[in-house]
Amino acid sequence: MAAPTVPTLREPSQRVSPRARLMWGVGAALEGAAVVLALLVAGPIADWLPIPWWALAPVALAAAAYAVVMPQWRYRVHRWEVTGTAVYTQTGWWARERRIAPMSRIQTVDHAEGAIARLFGLATVTVTTASAAGALEIAGLERDRALALVDELTLMADSVPGDAT
């Protein structure tokens, strides 16, 4: 008698919006600019940065490289999928994390649009479960798709018997 086949955890099938790359890049560029600006302003005031301003060029170059490389890499990894029984996510860019939330464990479904996301017509859907690992987050969805997904998940989770604990 043959041993039963063990299913493998496959990659979720849906990608986030291609505009998420630009959103993540703009966010990273703004963060990098804030760090460089803070070093330029706070260093001489606090007298703890005894180097000339132009010596911050490597910091600025590293921030710029991060703002260009990270969004492309992250876009290749971030995926999501909803089936009749669960929500699947895959996130990260250095370390990958795959998470599965069964419909019976969903407690809340939230929709959020940050300032930068709104500029690109994007949103984030957060699925909170009874898991100690925390909520599942699908960032970089087109706004209309995110709103529809919130409605869809709410109805699906409500139709599953149980108390999500």
The amino acid that residue 160 corresponds to is V
Chain-centroid distance of CA 103 in Å reads 21
Q: Are 25 and 120 in contact (CB under 8 A)?
A: no
What are 87-129's pLDDT values in tens digits? 999 998 778 899 998 998 899 999 999 999 999 999 999 999 9
Cβ neighbours of residue 42 closer than 8 Å, sequence gap 6 or more? 48, 49
Domain positions in the chain are: 14-74, 79-159
What confidence tier does 36 reach under pLDDT thresholds 50, 70, 90? confident
What are 134-145's pLDDT values in tens digits? 899 999 999 999
Please tell me the CATH superfamily of domain 79-159, with its number. FACT complex subunit Spt16p/Cdc68p (2.30.29.210)
pTM, full prediction = 0.82
What confidence tier does 37 reach under pLDDT thresholds 50, 70, 90? confident
Q: Given its phi and psi angles, is residue 140 left (phi above 0), alpha (psi -120 to 50 degrees) or beta?
A: left
Q: Are 31 and 153 in contact (CB under 8 A)?
A: no
Q: What value does the mean pLDDT of the chain take?
A: 87
